Amino acid sequence: MDQIVEEAVRKIQELNQQVPEGKHIVTGDIRKLSAKLFRQITKRDIATVFSLCEDLLEQHDWALGVIAFDWAYRMKKEYSESTYDIFYHWLKRYVRGWGDCDDFCTHAFGELLRQYPSLFPKITEWTKDGDFWVRRASAVILIPSILRDDYEGLSPFIISDALMSDEHDLVQKGYGWMLKSLSQIDMLSVKNYLIANHGNMPRTAYRYALEKFDKKARDELMSL
């Protein structure tokens, strides 16, 4: 194990010992530690950093995963289309829940898609995955591009159509969150989509999607 990874493991253990029983480390404290440790990496090319990220992820520890995904995001200027294969491997091997999924997909993986929207057809395949967090990821990964109004080449409604009848509530919340984000950029399109699909969309997703509408519009849409 690399020395910087060993230090990360040790520092996280120290933070864990400092928190009261029944609590967990505050994410903000992990990110502060991550930034400090990243500055200590002497060779910060993408291959080296990604190798360190994988070492961290191999520990299968939530806090170390936060550090790994943070370091991966810090390398965003060196991403290429081939970065997809590495990130997808991480998604399938190391992500095991909605928290990991959202952290990874709203930062590093989401930024990769924003830079390379040509990857979108690969993302659509995730909607059929057997793992709920991968299906959730197919929607959440679009959010960074949407919120920056830089989603040309991406089709959020293709994703929500594919996930429309998904039975997992965290998938429903995921694509509802994506639609909510889109409503901040193109509210009319989302309103029309909700009107057209109100009979098919689970209410969990539906309620998430209309959170950014004003009260009058929310009441109107909820009455459908």
Q: What is the pLDDT of residue 22?
A: 81
Q: What is the pLDDT of residue 13?
A: 95
Same-domain check for residues 5 and 73? yes
SS3 of residue 219 by DSSP: helix
CATH of the domain at 142: 1.25.10.90
Same-domain check for residues 129 and 167? yes
Same-domain check for residues 175 and 90? yes
Q: Which token pair is 190?
A: 């989302």
How confident is residue 19, by pLDDT bands cut at 50, 70 and 90? confident
Mean pLDDT of 5-20: 94
Q: What is the pLDDT of residue 98?
A: 87
Same-domain check for residues 60 and 88? no
pLDDT exceeds cutoff 90 at 24: no
* Angle (nearest 5°) at CA 36 between 33 and 38: 105
Cα–Cα dist 163/81, whole Å: 25
pLDDT exceeds cutoff 80 at 130: yes
SS3 of residue 60 by DSSP: coil
Q: What is the pLDDT of residue 26?
A: 92
Residues 6+ apart with CB under 8 A from 199: none
Same-domain check for residues 94 and 20? no
Same-domain check for residues 59 and 130? no
SS3 of residue 37 by DSSP: helix
Q: What is the pLDDT of residue 108?
A: 98
Same-domain check for residues 53 and 94? no
How confident is residue 102, by pLDDT bands cut at 50, 70 and 90? very high
pLDDT exceeds cutoff 80 at 56: yes
Q: What is the pLDDT of residue 213?
A: 97
* Angle (nearest 5°) at CA 133 between 129 and 136: 85
Per-residue pLDDT tens digits for 167-199:
999 999 999 999 999 999 999 999 999 999 999
Q: What is the pLDDT of residue 21?
A: 83
Same-domain check for residues 60 and 89? no
Same-domain check for residues 70 and 92? no
Query: How many structural domains are present in the chain?
Result: 2
**Confidence (pTM):** 0.96
Q: 32: domain range?
A: 1-78
52, 78, 104 — which closes off a domain?
A: 78
How confident is residue 78, by pLDDT bands cut at 50, 70 and 90? very high
Same-domain check for residues 133 and 220? yes
78, 93, 124 — which closes off a domain?
A: 78
62, 78, 94 — which closes off a domain?
A: 78
pLDDT exceeds cutoff 90 at 145: yes
Could you tell me what percentage of the chain is helix, strand and coil, using 3-state DSSP and rounding each to the nearest 5? 70, 0, 30
Q: In terms of Cα–Cα distance, which of 35, 30, 37 is closest to 14?
A: 30
Q: What is the pLDDT of residue 125?
A: 98
